[in-house]
Structure 1
Amino acid sequence: MIGPADAEAAPGRPLGSGRTPAYDGTMWLDEVPAGSVDSANGTPLHSQVGAVVRSHILSGALPPGSQLPTEAELQERFSVSRSVVRQALAALSAQGLVQRGRGRGSVVSPRGEHHRLVQRMSGLSAQISAEGADVFTAVLALGPEENAAASAALGGAEVVGIRRLRSAGSGPLAVIHTWVPRALGANLTRAELTDASLHAVLRSRLGVSIVSGRRQVRAVAATKALAELLQISVGEPLLLLEGTSLDENGVPIEMFSTWHRADRVVFDLDVVGTDEPGAGQRAGRSGEPAPVPAPEPAPAAGEKPGRAELAAQAADLARQLHDLAAEIARNA
């Protein structure tokens, strides 16, 4: 027998039922603020209705597989015509967020996510291709640009800007703006960069291999220009990946900014832990070098040094650098 506590723990579950029903996708409607859709807003009504539903899908309030309210329920809640509701659902379907079927209504689509390991040097194109998906790249612009930040990052060189739109599956994934030294960029063409990886082109045609770099990620809102290219609404969240890349000689080869659709691209991170307690608390205070741990016995010939010995060597080097910095400061 299910008591009141059980009923609260499983809302919507019929008493005495032996299974949990599908997620009820109508509950969120009661939480939508009045005036969310307003004819005086200036934005088409169907776009406003679609934006409300889309925001609940992207936030996880409407998980994949959940049933959406009927057209009549949406029409009544937002005080709009049925044609407006149908336009909104058609747009969500075209974006791959909703699946519509005759006789079964509309349901939230399975997540069409692509995963990117941000700590790998391989670009978005290579990583998505490795998933088995077809990747398409359109070159939006290619030519000399005035960009002081890019020029500084690339050693003061004049730069060529490359703007591309990358798509896979049901639509666009990312807008990429890359700057390379003019000495390299002047040799690139739109044709060879279309449906291709820039890194692969640099490696195969110019003999330049990108092997290291630095990356940073931040969340930003879509501008009008980005929203149009990525087929989303202005202000929707994007994942911006920025960075610089170096070749095997440490020479900077590119600076880039890539805006990813947050509903279609997931950033993965490989996390490396430590089994040594207090590993993150070894640094000395007030700029003092960390204490040197007791050394292990020297390894036998051909044997790799142990972790503690490597740590001792690193700490000893840190102490030497600290002493050198102090001496330079005294003599300055």
Structure 2
Amino acid sequence: MLYLKKIDEKNKGKEALYRQVADSLKTAISESRLPPGSPIPSESALCTHFNVARSVVRQALALLVDDGFILKQAGRASVVAPRMKHRRNLQNSLSLHAQLEREGTPLQTSVIRLEAAAFPAEVAAFYGDINGLLLERVRYIDDEPISYVKTWLPKAFASLSSEDLIDQSLHRQLQERFNRQPQQGRNQIQTVPCDKTLAGYLKVKKSDALLQLQACYYDQHGLPLEWFTAWHRADRVVFDIAVDASLENNIQVKDFQRAIK
């Protein structure tokens, strides 16, 4: 069972043994080394692998059942539970944070960087400027990464700090501090291969495919507000798009076709 990290002898007294066993199994499940539907090793095998008593293994498995990682089956081996997918509606400009908040699902955010930077050419065309801010974040649910986001912002938001955005909504900060909110824009979706950097942030394999969302929004005054690219784990996020044949297929955004081709 090389996919299960053993307990370091130096750490045995630092945290309850059953939690260390549970964490090792959670990591293997989160990183798809134990994919959904696969059987959990027997109690005897886990006892031998971790060099712990059967009572420790049983506590660890009970914790994983309570946390929704494992499904118990009467008379059969327990299996890894199907992964819950979080849905994002792309028909409106509500952020992922706001949509999950409405569902009662807390979204955690770590900020990798927020700094002044030169815009790439397509972003510079959108803003009509060559410099601004680069914001990079990883979003989590229950401490599991679900998306990595790279956002380009105008210099008007230079007073924002990384601390302002830890576990916070960027859109809420822009509204409360600058009285600007997304009004119109365009979302583009495609499936892309994972690279080494994304695999590290999202805890997936480099061979995994990701759902890439690229978007740019204008605010209520018609001014360019935000340009971002977000890479989502396909096993954790689903994009919903409503269809209505009565709506005209027009994008009513000033100079939008100039900015995005």
Q: Give me the TM-score of the superposition, normalised by structure 1.
A: 0.54
- The equivalent position to 2:153 in structure 1, one of 165, 180, 191, is 180
Partner letter of residue 197 of structure 1? Answer: S
Structure 1 residues 158 and 196: CA distance shift in structure 2, 3 A: same
Structure with greater helix share of residues: 1
Contact 2:118/2:130 (<8 A) preserved? no
> Is residue 260 from structure 1 mapped to residue 232 from structure 2 by the alignment?
yes
Match of 2:70 in 1: 99
Specify the structure having the higher radius of gyration (Cα): 1
Select which of 222, 231, 252 maps to 2:194.
222
Superposed CA deviations along residues 223-279 of structure 1, whole A, max 9, x for unmatched, are: 11111111111121111000111012221111100011111111011111359xxx9
CA 1:110–1:170 in 2, change beyond 3 Å: closer, same or farther?
Answer: farther
* SS of residue paired to 1:46: coil
Q: Is the 8 A contact 1:155 1:252 kept in 2?
A: no
Show the counterpart of 2:142.
Answer: 169
Q: Which amino acid aligns with 2:222?
A: G
Alpha-carbon distance in 2 for matches of 1:122, 1:225: 27
Shift of residue 159, structure 1, vs aligned partner:
1.3
Percent of aligned pairs sharing the same letter: 32
Q: 1:134 is matched by which residue type in structure 2?
A: P
Deviation at 1:181, TM superposition (A): 0.9
Match for 1:46: what amino acid?
Y
- Partner residue in 2 for 1:209: 181
What's the counterpart of residue 252 of structure 2?
none
Gaps of 5+ in 2: 5-27, 51-60, 250-261
Superposition CA RMSD, Å: 3.4
Cα 1:225–1:252 shift into 2, 3 Å: same
Aligned residues: 205
The aligned counterpart of 2:219 is 247
What is the deviation of 1:116? 0.3
Give me the whole-angstrom Cα distance separating, in 1, the residues matched to 2:202 and 2:76.
29
Structure 1 or 2: more strand by fraction: 2
Asked if residue 237 in structure 1 is aligned to residue 209 in structure 2, the reply is yes
SS in 2 for 1:250: coil
The CA deviation at 1:97 is: 9.0
The normalised TM-score by structure 2 is 0.68
- The alpha-carbon distance between structure 1 residues 263 and 256, as it changes in their structure 2 partners (threshold 3 A), is same
Equivalences for residues 278-293 of structure 1 within 5 A: none
The answer as to 2:19 corresponding to 1:46 is no
Gaps of at least 5 residues in structure 1 are 1-43, 76-81, 85-89, 281-332
2:199 aligned counterpart, secondary structure: helix
Q: Distance in 1 between matches of 2:91 and 2:39?
A: 41
What does 1:133-152 align with in structure 2 at a 5 Å threshold?
133-149=105-121, 150-152=123-125
